[in-house]
A and B are shown apart, each in its own frame.
Chain A
Amino acid sequence: MFAYTVRRVLTTIPVMLAVAFFVFSLLYIAPGDPAAIIAGDQATPADVERIRLSLGLDRPFLVRFGEWLWQILHGNLGTSIFTNLPVAHMIAQCIEPTLSLMVLTIIFAIVIAIPLGVLAAWKHGSWIDRLVMMLAVFGFSTPVFVVGYLLAYVFALQLDWLPVQGFNPIGRGLWPFLRDLILPTVALGLIFVALLARITRATMLDVLNQDYVRTAKAKGVGQRDVLFVHALKNAAVPIVTVIGNGVALLIGGAVVTESVFAIPGLGRLTVDAILRRDYPVIQGVVLLFSFTYVLVNLAVDLLYTVFDPRIRY
């Protein structure tokens, strides 16, 4: 087990290196002069030249990659072209809203989707099963900003129950913090609920046909315990895997949700950076999100043994 953990942790290193390489080289894969791309359409030749020097474009590609990587390992993500602030600093200021939104969304999705999926599998073929499957198809077919606007229109504008947009740090109290995040969480959570409910249903359908489930029922275990203890525990591995993979969807969705609800998080930072062509910021955010994604999936892999002790490495 320990050996496996070490091995699994080590395998993330080449993946992270590959990610870093892509993120760094994106700027050079794109056609045209990187300095001119960053400078934008209204730049004077002097601006382009200044950026060329600041990026060190006169030196070999791999040397620059090495230096860039070295800086990143020291927590230095470069400097924003637009604000001249360190990128790491700008990211740190935006992390709380995004992290809150994502954690709340994962909790929301788990709490809603897993019981729905279990219920759909238990009542296989019934109206509730159909409802869950339909919800899943709709969840996959509705872009997150459409859900966001719809929720905001109904619950904020028409019913006036919740604020239309904004964000309050948790430091200002739990209720103001939660109140602002309810609509964004539900909007972002819909696709995650769809994904989780579908995989939970599919896995539970498999598990409920197993002999040990029949045995448990035969010896008189209650329906609830059969579903949530005997069956769900054995369905946990695929479900947890999907939660891990779904984080990629969540990250993309968070960028959009934050624009809809005017949440000052990493998503807004990204969108602003795109409009200003502030490439170091875009690189920093993409790198951070990708590393998070890799680490979440590492954690998921290591969790397998907790849910299924038969898995021994």
Chain B
Amino acid sequence: MSIATGTDHGYAAAPALPDVLPPAKRRGRIGTFVHRHPTIVLGGTLVGVMIGIAIFAPWLGTVDPTALAPAQRLRPPSEAYWFGSDMLGRDIYSRVMYGSRISLIVGFSVAFVASAAGTLVGVVSGFIRSLDFIIMRVMDGLMSIPPLLLAIALMALTRASVHNVIIAISVAEFPRVSRLIRGIVLSLREQPYVEAAIASGTRVPMIIWRHIIPNTLAPLMVNATFICASAMITESILSFIGAGTPPTIPSWGNIMAEGRALWEVKPFVVFFPAVFLCITVLAVNLLGDGLRDALDPRLAKRL
């Protein structure tokens, strides 16, 4: 269908508009993004800063975070010790900077491991109906153990190490992912395009790879940010009660655990790692909220 233009060239020259309209407020691409998704930008920036701190910790005016200086014990924040020093004379500023590494490594690793394991179990459960009942009862059982207690019980059994902390928190988190993915798989299976793929003889692994996995990515990513935030809190709690990262490695939870005995008189030992932990978790949560709103508003109810 074409609209008659009535000119020889086949197109009409745009009539010149009178120059009375005020120029529309213009934002660049970045400006538009910031305006539409303020939480993603704020959360993302803060997370970026924390990643920067973790990577560049040695060059941020830090000293060896494990260097002891018994003569300089429990100094309040000053020019030499920006965040003060702990009961062994170690520089808290350096320990907090290096400690960001543990929180971020644990948070990101747990988000990845729990999402991967949960997706695997969820897809298997959603596709192989004969296994579904058993798998879901097992997951129900795992989900009935409060996650922090499950992580505590696992840590009590194994040697304290960052590696074991990641596994313990992942085991506690992945059943919920598997339940989320299973639900998505079950509803996708009923979609006409998946039925068409089945009818045309596409093999199951190909259907999963081509049609199922791409559709789980958005909810999976949003969920992963929330797992990351909760894993960072869990790591600090495990370290705080003495069942987490080994005390030789500076982590925010460990610094606070060591400051516990003296917090009434020397609150700065606990204060600085606490502030950094809260800001980081807040940043990841903001990022997650923003991603959820941007990727799929309906998810707000499912999560």
Contact = CB atoms under 8 A, between A and B. Distances in A.
Interface of A: 14-19, 21-23, 26-27, 30-31, 37, 137-138, 140-146, 149, 153, 157, 164, 202, 247-249, 251-253, 255-256, 259, 270-271, 273-275, 277, 279, 282-283, 285-286, 289-290, 293-294
B279 to A, nearest CB: 8
A157 B263 CA distance: 11
A30 B156 CA distance: 10
Given A18-B141, A202-B301, A143 B237 contact: yes
Interface stretch (B117-125, B142-150, B212-220): B142-150
Interface string B96-135: 0000000000000000000000000000000000000000
B236 A19 contact: no
A286 B153 contact: yes
A274 B145 contact: no
Given A18-B137, A164-B264, A253-B148, 8 more contacts: A19-B141, A30-B158, A143-B240, A149-B270, A252-B147, A255-B148, A256-B240, A274-B241
Contacts of A146: 256, 274, 277-278
B137 A275 contact: no
B243 A286 contact: no
A273 B138 CA distance: 27
Contacts of A282: 152-153, 156
B153 A275 contact: no
Nearest to A41: B159
B38 interface: no
Contact of A18 (B138, B242, B281): B138
Instruction: Give the one of A17, A27, A149, A273 with max B CB within 10 A.
Output: A149
A255 B241 contact: yes
Contacts of A286: 145, 149-150, 152-153
Given A137-B282, A255-B241, A15 B144 contact: yes
Contact of B278 (A26, A37, A142): A142
B144 A290 contact: yes
B242 A274 contact: yes
13 contacts: A14-B141, A16-B144, A18-B144, A19-B141, A31-B158, A143-B277, A253-B148, A256-B241, A259-B240, A274-B241, A274-B242, A290-B145, A290-B149
A145 B152 contact: no
Contacts of B236: 143
Nearest to B157: A30
Contacts of A277: 156
B285 interface: yes
B64 interface: no
B149 to A, nearest CB: 5
Contacts of B140: 15, 18
A282 B153 CA distance: 7
A94 B204 CA distance: 53
10 nearest interchain CB pairs?
A18-B141, A252-B148, A141-B282, A30-B157, A248-B146, A141-B281, A251-B146, A146-B274, A274-B156, A290-B145
A19 B144 contact: yes
Contacts of B207: none
Contacts, number: 133
Interface of A is mostly: helix
Interface in B256-279: 256, 263-264, 267, 270, 274, 277-278
B222 interface: no
B153 A23 contact: yes
Nearest to A137: B285
A164 B267 CA distance: 14
B286 interface: yes
Contacts of B289: 137
B229 interface: yes
Contact of B264 (A140, A157, A259): A157
B50 interface: no
Instruction: Give the one of A27, A31, A248 with max B CB within 10 A.
Output: A248
Instruction: Give the one of B138, B152, B156, B300 with max A CB within 10 A.
Output: B156
Nearest to A191: B233
B278 A145 contact: no
A112 to B, nearest CB: 21
B155 interface: yes
A68 to B, nearest CB: 15
B154 interface: yes
B231 to A, nearest CB: 12
A174 B153 CA distance: 35
Interface in B64-101: none
Contacts of A202: 300-301
A251 B149 contact: yes
A153 B146 contact: no
A223 B34 CA distance: 38
A140 B244 CA distance: 21
B155 A23 contact: no
A53 B229 CA distance: 43
Nearest to A259: B241
A149 B273 CA distance: 13
